[in-house]
Amino acid sequence: MSSKYSTLQQLADTLPVPPLSALDDADYRVLWHDFADRKQAIEDTLKTVRITAGAFLDEHMDRIARLAEFEWSEAADSHLQALLEQAGFDAGSELAVRSSANIEDGNQHSFAGIFSTHLSVQGLQALKTAVLDVWRSGVSRQAILERLRASMLETPVEMTVIVQRMVKARFAGVAFSHDPLSGEAVTLIETVASLGEAMVSGVEKGMSARVSDQQLLGCDPALEPHKALLLEVATLAANASAALGLPADIEWAADDQKLWLLQARA
């Protein structure tokens, strides 16, 4: 499983992480016919893309797209149903289905907005569509071009797909337990009203706030009525940092009930 998923599992013991599960290559071999052979053929094609510096990308993308047309196995539905039940989800659960690739969120390249996310997924068929789309986004034209620019085509993409209970957010965003430039223990918070996916992917600019020692140092005027939430987010970021033993940045969401930790990275 990916480091993102493993980190969330670790933090779920002490911090408010929504229930989640994940799929990796062991699951895909059950879900899709000929997964291992097709994945290897995709990697072989990507090696050719790298060697030719993308000169024949259209031709190679056609081949990759055909290889990624996986056929669902007879065991797929029962396997996914068992995974959902093990995580405590039922047929009516609303889910968020997100990527967790081994090349995401690196120090040099984050790949923000490159891989797919599906929100408010309900039902087995919708889950199957979302899981397949998230996996395919790892070998999309956009992803391959980004990897080519970053000189990362030689690194195989291992795509874990995280399935998590959907948070109906009033506010959502990101927070840094320490200033990423100065290293000071000042929490930087970026937030938007409602779902934070557009901000995290770079589509929408969020409102900002700064917190130190449970004191609000400053924020956008629209956030002033929400001081208590901002202080709670700062505490969550500090607790994630303490649990990971390093400065941390987190993704968070607040619904009508509580504040949730969606992702953390040290």
Q: What integer pLDDT is reported at residue 197 of this predicted model?
A: 56
Q: Does domain 3-165 bear CATH number 3.10.20.810?
A: no
Superfamily for domain range 171-265:
ATP-grasp fold, B domain (3.30.470.20)
Residue 153 — very low, low, confident or very high, per pLDDT cuts 50/70/90?
A: confident
Compare 76 and 196 and report the one with higher pLDDT: 76
Mean pLDDT on 171-183: 92
Q: Do domains 3-165 and 171-265 have the same CATH topology?
A: no
Task: Give 162's contacts (C-beta < 8 A, 6+ positions apart).
Answer: 4, 5, 8, 20, 21, 22, 96, 97, 98, 99, 100
Q: Quickly tell me which residue has 């990796």 as its tokens.
A: 24
Smallest Cα–Cα separation from 127: which of 170, 167, 90? 90
Distance CA 172, CA 155 (A): 32
Domain boundaries, the chain: 3-165, 171-265
pLDDT in tens, 53-91: 999 999 999 999 999 999 999 999 999 999 999 999 988
Q: What's residue 109's pLDDT?
A: 64
d(CA 122, CA 99): 17
What pLDDT, on a 0 to 100 scale, did the predictor assign at position 202? 52
Tell me the mean pLDDT in the region 249-257: 94
Task: Tell me what percent of the residues of the chain surpass a pLDDT of 70.
Answer: 93
For residue 119, give the nearest of 191, 190, 194 by alpha carbon. Answer: 194
Is the pTM above the cut of 0.75?
yes
